[in-house]
Amino acid sequence: MSAEGQAEPWGPPSSFAKRVLVTGGAGFIASHMIVSLVEDYPNYMIINLDKLDYCASLKNLETISNKQNYKFIQGDICDSHFVKLLFETEKIDIVLHFAAQTHVVLLMKPEWRNLFTSAQMKYMEAVSIRNLMNLHPNNLQILMHHLKQPLSVLYSLTGNDIRTLTLEKNPFASVFKFPVVITRSSNVYGPHQYPEKVIPKFISLLQHNRKCCIHGSGLQTRNFLYATDVVEAFLTVLKKGKPGEIYNIGTNFEMSVLQLAKELIQLIKETSSESEMENWVDYVNDRPTNDMRYPMKSEKIHGLGWRPKVPWKEGIKKTIEWYRENFHNWKNAEKALEPFPVQPSFV
């Protein structure tokens, strides 16, 4: 099946125990999730829906692309008619929704904020209608009438209202009344990540003999979680999580952006001299809304038995090696190394 709605021949839906839709599956975290599911759950059909935006790459999935329990469909979650058709055709049992614009600077732009809100609402509308069709296939017209009210509640909210609502409770469980679990994680790093984010960007800049570009003082701290650890967290939530809950996926490992740059310089440029390390750092004006830190409490998912396992030194060495060989997995990777435009500092 494609975005044009043409079905492709594949195994009958009944031949798999579950049919799992993963949105944004050619991106960073979702591609790791798909590889794990395809390899470890051969009785599950894993369907990858991705529109292949600038930060996506099907090369992230080459190891499983020919597996019988994997299928790629190119399409856009903003197209609610397409999403409805996909649910009807593919008989989806589980949705893992990863498709998103995650770069903070881009999300500050009005066009991205509007697109994000519209996309999420259209996607949830399509999923909601499909869910209700399963429950009451003969009453779709009546159900769609009742559906307008909860949808209108979310459509009428501003960005801040939605943020407040999702921080306090799971709105899709409380408003739409169907089993949705929300997860929130610390900053994730590892192979497959488009090099616009701080770790792959610094790694790639240094590997191309360019300086690390630090916004502001560099004293902002971040908690970093390796990709395979967050995949294990998602699998834990899938198996043991309670519908309607929100699970934080955090780590106690924390370092400043400046310390991150210095560690990467030591590992890639093989120097521990402070003066030499300063030669590989370039300070620029800070970006707007750059939080100093945002740690999270993860006791709820710890209660399900999950804890991060991959030590920082092990994870970062694997990541450095991966980018040495795979930087050109994206057509426009060099563009990601340019500094994002920042506003002048306020006096």
Range with the poorest average pLDDT among 221-235, 238-252, 321-335 = 238-252
pLDDT bin (cut points 50, 70, 90) of residue 338 is confident
The answer, yes or no, to whether residue 115 has pLDDT greater than 90, is no
Residue 196 sits at the vertex; the CA angle it makes with 191 and 200, to the nearest 5 degrees, is 35
**Rounded mean pLDDT of the chain?**
79
What DSSP state is assigned to residue 335? G
| Distance between CA atoms of residues 23 and 237, nearest Å | 17
Average pLDDT over residues 189-213: 96
Burial class (CB in 10 A: 0-12, 13-18, 19+), 167: exposed
pTM recorded for the entire structure: 0.81
The answer to whether 74 and 50 are in contact (CB under 8 A) is yes
List 222's β-bridge partners, or say none: 255
Give the model's confidence band at 170: pLDDT under 50 very low, under 70 low, under 90 confident, else very high: low
Confidence bin at 141 (pLDDT 50/70/90): very low
**Could you tell me the two tokens for 89?**
């055709």
Out of 72-76, 81-85, 106-110, pick the least confident: 106-110
Alpha carbon distance 292, 289 (integer Å): 9
User: Which tokens is 305 given?
Assistant: 């038995």
Asked which of 139-143, 241-245, 282-286, 297-301 is least confident by mean pLDDT, the reply is 139-143
Give 132's pLDDT tier (boundaries 50, 70, 90): very low
pLDDT band at 126 (very low <50, low <70, confident <90, very high): very low
| Res. 346 pLDDT band, cuts 50 70 90 | very low
Question: Is pLDDT at 116 greater than 60 in this prediction?
Answer: no
Average pLDDT of span 187-198:
95
C-alpha to C-alpha distance for 266 and 88, rounded to whole angstroms: 53
